[in-house]
Amino acid sequence: MAPVRILHTADLHNRLSPAAARQLSALKRERDGTILLDAGDAIAAGNLTFRIGGEPILRRMAEVGYDAMAMGNRESHPSRRFLERKLRDASFPVLAANVQPKRQPLPAVVRDHVILKGCEGRTVAVIGLAPQITPPDSAWARVTDYVFEDPVATAEKLAARLREQANLVVCLSHCGEEVDRRLAAIGAIELVLGGHTHSNFVIQQQGEALIVHPGHHGSHVASTELLGRDEASSALIPLETGL
């Protein structure tokens, strides 16, 4: 049985060069069933701002063939009106399982997970997690349209349910290294693909899921081969920075 191949980037901050975009497209096309993901903070706008003309990086990611991305702090907003404006150029799911509606429903593009088909028809459940910007018990929760639940508790519950629906369960996290280490200890999760802390590393503790961070600003893409929790490996591939 061939492993499922998953490519992932993180923290692009609108800096994916045309050459890197072509490289990612080629990497995805070279093997049937390759999945392409991003771990959040792809856009240029800050947490409480938005670009009037939209986000060109989201349009470029769609052209490349991204299957889904996690909601980073830059993709989030406490107001539904502005969250919709931030994400209007995303034609693929933006995953944030721990973001819950309080006063307004989430935009349709925001989902808690997606189930994708990898090679040989195997299914991969991808859970997206955002950093806990506004906890439910915080003062800001009184005025925001959304609250952010604990990402580890959210992942633990959802992963247990998705084990019955998919062959593999992957966490796509914009929560940073410390949270990702806790996610890797959850038994129902085979792989943690992270971002937020702008790190690049591949680590795995005995009995835990592999954790992969691919750097930032389009410097690398992580290429991970996954058969199961104890059969996973990843390499960081430098991306082109030119035209």
What domains does the chain contain, in order, with CATH numbers?
4-238 (3.60.21.10)
Rounded to 5°, angle at Cα 104 from 115 and 175: 50
Confidence of residue 242 (pLDDT cuts 50, 70, 90): confident
Q: pLDDT tens digits, residue range 46-90?
A: 887 877 878 999 999 999 999 999 999 999 999 999 999 999 999
Grouping H, G, I as helix, E, B as strand and the rest as coil, residue 29 is helix
Confidence of residue 1 (pLDDT cuts 50, 70, 90): confident
What kind and span of H or E run contains 182? helix 177-183
- pLDDT of 23 strictly over 90: yes
Strand positions, DSSP E, 82-160: 94-95, 99-101, 110-111, 113-117, 123-129, 146-148
List the one residue out of 238, 214, 239, 224 whose CA is nearest residue 39. Answer: 214
| Predicted pLDDT at 46 | 81
Query: Which of residues 119 and 51 earns the better pLDDT score?
Result: 119
| Predicted pLDDT at 52 | 80
What is the residue-averaged pLDDT of the chain?
Answer: 95
- pLDDT of 120 strictly over 90: no
- pLDDT of 243 strictly over 80: no
Confidence of residue 3 (pLDDT cuts 50, 70, 90): very high
Q: Which amino acid is at 68?
A: A
Taking the alpha carbons at both ends of the chain, their separation in whole angstroms is 38
